[in-house]
Amino acid sequence: TSAPGSLDEPQICIEINTLGTLNILQSARRHKVRKIIFPSSPAAPGRQVVRRTPAGSRLPAPIVQL
């Protein structure tokens, strides 16, 4: 779902995202998956402070800073 679309049809947005996540978690449990990567958009938590990574810096850095 898209952010503007979720404002027009919030019920569908909630169902898609919540039930989709539940399906993934239930499948992971059945298959004894120990870790799940939960990718997200930088827009999800709202406006963020942009931090630039200097060219010579050592990585890994926290993913939220990349």
- Predicted local confidence at residue 6, as pLDDT: 74
Torsion angle (degrees, nearest 10) of CA 40, 34, 25, 5 = 0
- Predicted local confidence at residue 45, as pLDDT: 63
- Predicted local confidence at residue 54, as pLDDT: 73
Q: Where is pLDDT greater, at 63 or 27? A: 27
Tokens in use for 4? Answer: 């503007």
- Predicted local confidence at residue 31, as pLDDT: 97
Q: Each residue of 11-60: pLDDT tens digit?
A: 898 899 899 999 999 999 999 999 988 887 766 666 666 777 677 776 66
The model's pTM: 0.52
DSSP letter for each residue of 1-66:
--HHHHHH-HHHHHHHHHHHHHHHHHHHHHTT---------TTTT-S----PPPTT--S---GGG-
